[in-house]
Structure 1
Amino acid sequence: MTSHKLPIAVGMPLAVVAGLGIAAQGRINGALGARLDDGLAAALVSFGTGLVVIIAASLLLPSGRRGLRSMLPALRAKKFPRWYIAAGAIGAFFVLAQGLTVSIIGIALFTVAVVTGQSLSGLLVDRIGISPAGKRAITPIRVISAALTIAAVIWAVSPRFAKADDIAHWLLPVLLPLAAGFLMSFQQAMNATQTMHYGTPLTATLLNFVAGTLVLVIAWLVKVGVSGLGKALPTEWWYYLGGAIGCLFIGLSAWLVRGLGVLLTGLGTIGGQLLGSLMLDLIFPASGTVITVATWLGTLLTLMAMVLATLPWPRRIKG
């Protein structure tokens, strides 16, 4: 597999933009979940609307149609493991983890768990070399950047931590977002590999939404069988933007990994998530919003960690 050349000065700002999209989608889906009193239904609405958008884009855009024509030949030729097309199930697991645990551990601890898992797996995935960017050494500067990012995120969200509870109350629930964050880097690598062979991120994104929607439909049907239908869907149009935003950041991340690698893409999106959350809290503050000096300085430190990871370092890998 080969990577396309992408200057860091171009790629990292785009990764931040993808992170801004994640923050915006999280706020929209969170509001929809609260409105429906059902996080699973909100996740299904998000994936379902995103699936409609990406199907339309794949059929209307020339690159999307070319990608669809390339999909079956790539699968028949086994140019990559066929189970890569199930990468969207990881996205479904992420939103399920969010719906199941945020009410227990809070959004702050959820964010820290996801970032920790994503930073650690970014190093691992790059070292294994399963993305088109190939193997990238676990150098001291990359380890320091990942550790600094985790510390910075903890600092930035620390004002949102509720009063300390019994550790047994949140220890087990926090493992779900930790696992979801850890799997996100693998999802990005799998999407990037598919993008390379399809020739467009549109087709990889489409398969993500197909797989994720199927998983969520099954989970929702089980829930309906147990507890029945929930509240009616709202009529406000903005509740349904989450899926379209998801199409943008999944496709953009799949394209960026080919040139930046998984770790740098992940650090950029983490920085974008914090910046996006801060902007949303300033412009559209949610209930319980807390912004302190730690919020600003933690966000700044995250961006510094992102820059640190881009500094030149020997790339040769032995073995």
Structure 2
Amino acid sequence: MLVPGVLGALLVGAGIACQARINGELGTELGDGYIASVISFGSGLVLMLVILALSKPGRAGFRIIHTALRTREIPWWLVMGGASGALFVLSQGLAAGLLGIAVFTVAVVFGQTLSGLVVDRRGMGSTPPRSITPARIVGSALMLAAVVLVVSTQFIGSVPLWLVLLPFIAGLAIPWQQAANGEVRMLSGSPVTATVVNFVVGTTLLVLAAAVHAAFVGLPTAYPTNPVLYLGGAIGAGFIGLGAILAPRIGVLLLALGTISGQLVVALLLDIVVPADGHPLAWTTVAGTAITLVALVIAATPALRFRASRGAARP
């Protein structure tokens, strides 16, 4: 399961990078990152509600979670993974278009790596703690070094500090979100349930935040006609569900590192194919992205060897 799991983590990262570019562009064209976030999360919620209506296991899982919350068999915060998702999508709408997809991704990655180490070491619910081996530490350190290399020639001194801190904090929350969603999936028996719960919580919080913001500045008067800019929610539904499946199986740290590599690879491709205005591609982005893949292999190698030796020991 480990190799397919790591490939799945790369796919999660690819989805995050694509969503970041789409939501960043939507926020820039609307001139309102809050409304862009509501559109992204809200469209994902609508899609998932349709899927839930068609999924018998999903509906059964939703009833299980509802009953468990009502009887306090599980803590309320376990279903709050969507709050982290809301923060991440909001940071996309507010910061990705201004920072550029590469620097935005780097800020997320830095927080994601640090948090992944902590969450994996502590465990969550039925997911046991995982040992922080030397290879995992080296892989994480190399991942962070790659991040620093990527950002070294792209950081813009005039960018407000909060604009960089926002995706960094969102990155800190991602591993916890993935672990929480993974627990909901295991308890409910359905990734559809976990994804719907995530979108219900996230959309609710984003609507409240957008309502407060709109009370002061009003709503956008025009909306972009490019349909691609409204695909962020559908992409998010895919990688949130996949992350909920993978987190209990390969661990949050390895999921985070694989996600990071996928993010930077696709961010690099996006900056080559459809570069953001004012953010030229630097050689450090290419080199740093390659290093993340090396870091991922280093972090995963001990687990691969362990599984191989365990399989060989079986009669």
Q: TM-score, normalised by structure 2?
A: 0.89
Query: Contact 2:120/2:129 (CA < 8 Å) preserved in 1?
Result: yes
Query: What is the CA distance between 1:90 and its match in structure 2?
Result: 1.2
For residues 193 and 46 of structure 1, do their structure 2 counterparts lie closer, same or farther at Cα, with a shift above 3 Å needed? same
Q: Deviations over 1:6-51 (max 9, x none)?
A: x211100111011111111111111111111111111110011000
In 2: Cα distance, 1:298 partner to 1:28 partner: 23
Q: Which has the larger displacement, 105-114 or 267-276?
A: 105-114
Whether 1:53 aligns to 2:43 is no
Q: How many residues align?
A: 305
Whether 1:27 aligns to 2:21 is yes
Q: Deviations over 1:122-157 (max 9, x none)?
A: 111111111544111122221221111111122234
For residues 24 and 101 of structure 1, do their structure 2 counterparts lie closer, same or farther at Cα, with a shift above 3 Å needed? closer
Query: Contact 1:205/1:250 (CA < 8 Å) preserved in 2?
Result: yes
For residues 129 and 14 of structure 1, do their structure 2 counterparts lie closer, same or farther at Cα, with a shift above 3 Å needed? same
Query: Contact 1:159/1:291 (CA < 8 Å) preserved in 2?
Result: no
Unaligned stretches of 5+ residues in structure 1: 1-6
User: Which structure has greater helix proportion?
Assistant: 2
Whether 1:94 aligns to 2:88 is yes
Aligned residue among 3, 11, 17 for 2:5: 11
In 1: Cα distance, 2:126 partner to 2:288 partner: 32
Whether 1:226 aligns to 2:235 is no
Aligned residue among 178, 182, 187 for 1:188: 178
Aligned partner of 1:153 in structure 2 is: 147
Query: Contact 1:158/1:295 (CA < 8 Å) preserved in 2?
Result: no
**Letter paired with 2:250:** L
Q: Which has the larger displacement, 50-59 or 68-77?
A: 68-77
In 2: Cα distance, 1:39 partner to 1:171 partner: 17
**Letter paired with 1:60:** L
Query: Contact 1:110/1:174 (CA < 8 Å) preserved in 2?
Result: yes
SS of equivalent residue, structure 2 residue 278 = coil
**Letter paired with 2:84:** I
SS of equivalent residue, structure 1 residue 130 = coil
In 1: Cα distance, 2:216 partner to 2:178 partner: 34
In 1: Cα distance, 2:152 partner to 2:91 partner: 21
Query: What does 1:85-234 correspond to in 2, within 5 Å?
Result: 85-102=79-96, 107-130=101-124, 132-162=126-156, 164-165=157-158, 170-234=160-224
